[in-house]
């Protein structure tokens, strides 16, 4: 079956049909997939069951996989797999249960932020036949392009601080108990400075690289002015025009670009409705 590309929303996402992740992928087909990924910022592959080994093998076609530090949530058999789940075993969450409460990309608090992330749905909560726990995505390159010329000039050369502590603080404010961010942050201050308009390492497009979930300061700007600017930009980046919402089915794989997109989870389900996702994460 030939591989075909089907855009999902005006500015973001494409479904790739005819791709079975459990089967070998020729170099030529991979090139089609890779091109679609960078053209659309996000790809969806569905309809064929696959396992962790397939997930890892496919992800590695894009580059080197990261081994994340958060031991508690690494897959038992494959440490390349990061578990996102609300399921508990012996009274402990088996995965990050609060991943994606706020708009964010993965890893901006690192000097070398993550490359793409790829999330595989193993269990999807549902109610009356409708999937719960959607993930929303937005395109940060389209958002940059839509800024006024004045705003583009204003943020030219500007740098911002992105901190894991911000997510911890927001989660605490929301009253989340035992946040995984708290566990991840324990003992370590993770923060990094990146351009507000970050040039994409592959496409060369400028991407708005500030997020509600992680951006705390603009370098060299008084804090009240910085807060107002961050709010203006983070409100802009999530405007409906730039967005795609993914309603999960079991064995969907969604791979997103952590420079050209941001994402946010939806918490409209709770146990006994179970959600289990496995994520691979690429080096930036
Ligand atoms: C992630 C994440 C959101 C979700 O895995 O990086 O933010 O909807 N997940 O599971
Ligand atoms: Mn995330």
Choose among 243, 260, 119, 280: nearest CA to 202: 260
**42 alpha carbon – ligand 2 mean position (Å):** 13
Which is higher by pLDDT, 186 or 91? 91
> Counting atoms of ligand 1 from 1, which one is nearest the CA of 117?
6
Range of the domain at 44: 4-281
pLDDT of residue 70: 66
pLDDT tens digit string along 150-194? 999 999 999 999 998 887 787 777 777 665 654 555 556 789 999
With cut-offs at 50, 70 and 90, classify the pLDDT of residue 235. Answer: very high
pLDDT tens digit string along 46-60? 999 999 999 999 999
> Counting atoms of ligand 1 from 1, which one is nearest the CA of 119?
5
The terminus-to-terminus CA distance of the chain in angstroms comes to 32
Strand partners, 139: 261
What CATH number is given to the structural domain containing 95? 3.60.130.10
Residues in the chain: 284
- Ligand 1, residues at Cβ distance < 6 Å: 84, 99-100, 106, 117, 119, 135, 263, 265, 277, 279
pLDDT mean over 115-137: 97
With cut-offs at 50, 70 and 90, classify the pLDDT of residue 71. Answer: low
Residue nearest to atom 7 of ligand 1 (CA): 100
What Cα–Cα distance (Å) separates residue 136 from each residue in 30, 140, 143, 217, 247? 26, 13, 15, 25, 9
**99 alpha carbon – ligand 1 mean position (Å):** 5
Q: Is the pLDDT assigned to residue 283 strictly greater than 80?
A: yes
Q: Is the pLDDT assigned to residue 79 strictly greater than 70?
A: yes
pLDDT of residue 72: 66
Mean pLDDT of the chain: 93
With cut-offs at 50, 70 and 90, classify the pLDDT of residue 4. Answer: very high
Q: What is the pTM of this model?
A: 0.95
pLDDT of residue 170: 79
CA angle 230, 233, 234 (to 5 degrees): 80
pLDDT mean over 3-17: 97
**277 alpha carbon – ligand 1 mean position (Å):** 8
- Structural domain count of the chain: 1
- Check if the beta carbon of residue 119 is closer than 8 Å to that of residue 258: no
With cut-offs at 50, 70 and 90, classify the pLDDT of residue 244. Answer: very high
**21 alpha carbon – ligand 2 mean position (Å):** 22
Question: In a mutational test of the pocket of ligand 1, which residue from 171, 263, 275, 276 has the highest number of ligand atoms less than 8 Å from its CB?
Answer: 263
């Amino acid at each position: 079956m030939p591989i075909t590309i089907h855009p999902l929303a005006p500015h973001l996402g494409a479904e790739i049909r005819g791709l079975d992740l459990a089967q070998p992928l020729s170099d030529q087909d991979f090139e089609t997939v890779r091109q679609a990924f960078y053209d659309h910022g996000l790809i969806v592959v569905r309809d064929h069951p696959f396992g962790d080994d397939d997930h890892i093998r496919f992800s590695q076609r894009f580059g080197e996989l990261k081994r994340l530090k958060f031991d508690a949530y690494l897959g038992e058999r494959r440490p390349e797999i990061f578990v996102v789940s609300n399921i508990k075993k012996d009274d402990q969450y088996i995965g990050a249960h609060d991943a994606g409460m706020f708009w964010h990309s993965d890893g901006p608090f690192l000097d070398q932020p993550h490359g793409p992330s790829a999330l595989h749905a193993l269990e999807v909560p549902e109610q009356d036949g409708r999937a719960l726990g959607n993930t929303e995505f937005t395109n940060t390159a389209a958002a940059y392009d839509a800024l006024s010329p004045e705003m583009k000039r204003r943020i030219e050369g500007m740098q911002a601080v992105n901190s894991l502590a911000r997510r911890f603080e927001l989660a605490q404010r929301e009253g989340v108990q035992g946040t995984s961010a708290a566990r991840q942050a324990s003992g370590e201050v993770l923060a990094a400075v990146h351009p507000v308009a970050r040039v994409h390492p592959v496409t060369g497009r400028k991407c708005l690289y500030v997020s509600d979930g992680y951006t705390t300061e603009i370098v060299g700007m008084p804090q009240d002015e910085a807060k107002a600017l961050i709010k203006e930009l983070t409100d802009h980046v999530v405007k409906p025009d730039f967005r795609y919402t993914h309603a999960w089915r079991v064995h969907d794989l969604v791979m997103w670009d952590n420079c050209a997109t941001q994402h946010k989870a939806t918490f409209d389900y709770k146990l006994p409705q179970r959600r289990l996702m496995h994520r691979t994460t690429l080096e930036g």
